Amino acid sequence: MFDIFSSFSPGLLMFLAAVLFVAGCVRGFAGFGAGMIFMPIAASVMLPSTAAASFLFIDGIVALPLVVRALRLCDWSTVLPAVIGAVVFVHFGAWLLANTDVLVLRWTIFAIVTGLLLLLISGWRYHRKATWPVSLGVGAVSGVLGGVSQLSGPPVVAFWLSSAREPAIVRANLIVFLALASVGTFFAYIVNGFFTLQVFHLLIMATPVYALAIYAGSKGFSKASPKHYRKLAYVLIALAALTSMPALDPLFR
């Protein structure tokens, strides 16, 4: 019989539940961003591999209803090549993480994510049709960043927001992309033995909390204006940049 308190104290569980609830609300509203909120905090109180495996499993299960609804709205002509690029290049990102100086990689990631944010704020828009090679390339960049740091969202977010498509399409693209791209991550985590008993202990608390939060966030999206959606997306990308910045490790890790 599972004893959740054998792995986590009640106080720590309450703290993680609060963080996960905020992350789930953001995920339900924006279609992405939960990992940017949960991972830096969770990785400061448990093994990063445990935090990553727990979040991947929770998000994969609870976000399924979002995926089902998004399948009807997403633009497959740009989502599918982005997924292929991410699934292939996530392994290259993992290789870089294992064989390259981590500090150099993290500063590079910070520069890339910050550059994407500044590009969006500048008002630049990608007005051309999203071709397969372009979408594949954006997905590849996302895969590399995901393999290195779990920050696969910002490149595709910046790409689809810059297309000036309506927020419902952008959100659907992100939900489907993240769901399909995570399949490759599941296999990688299984091979590396990241799904431990501690992960499944955490699921007992986390799954209902995250499900409730995603439901609340989804309801909020249906009432929000496009302007609010874009502002939240910009804030989340900025959060991704800050949490990947080595100079701020004392605050986030």
Amino acid 164: pLDDT: 64
Average pLDDT, the chain: 82
Which sequence spans correspond to the domains of the chain? 4-252
3-state helix, strand, coil in the chain (%, to 5): 80, 0, 20
Largest CA distance in the chain: 56
Mean pLDDT (whole number) for 206-211: 93
How far, in Å, are 23, 51, 252 from residue 184 at the CA level? 23, 18, 27
Mean pLDDT (whole number) for 95-111: 76
Residue 85 identity (one-letter amino acid): G
* Rounded distance between C-alpha atoms, residue 56 and residue 185, angstroms: 8
181 with 142: CB under 8 angstroms?
yes
Got the DSSP string for 115-149?
A: HHHHHHHTT----S---HHHHHHHHHHHHHHHHHH
Whether residue 46 has pLDDT greater than 90: no
* Rounded distance between C-alpha atoms, residue 57 and residue 50, angstroms: 11
Whether residue 162 has pLDDT greater than 70: yes
Q: Which two tokens stand for residue 49?
A: 């591999």
Whether residue 237 has pLDDT greater than 50: yes
Got the DSSP string for 48-104?
A: HHHHHHHHHHHHHHHTHHHHHHHTTTS-HHHHHHHHHHHHHHHHHHHHHHHHS-HHH
* Rounded distance between C-alpha atoms, residue 192 and residue 208, angstroms: 27
Whether residue 215 has pLDDT greater than 50: yes
* Rounded distance between C-alpha atoms, residue 176 and residue 153, angstroms: 12
Whether residue 1 has pLDDT greater than 50: no
pLDDT band at 252 (very low <50, low <70, confident <90, very high): low
Query: Which of 21-35, 100-114, 154-168: highest mean pLDDT?
Result: 21-35
Whether residue 210 has pLDDT greater than 90: yes
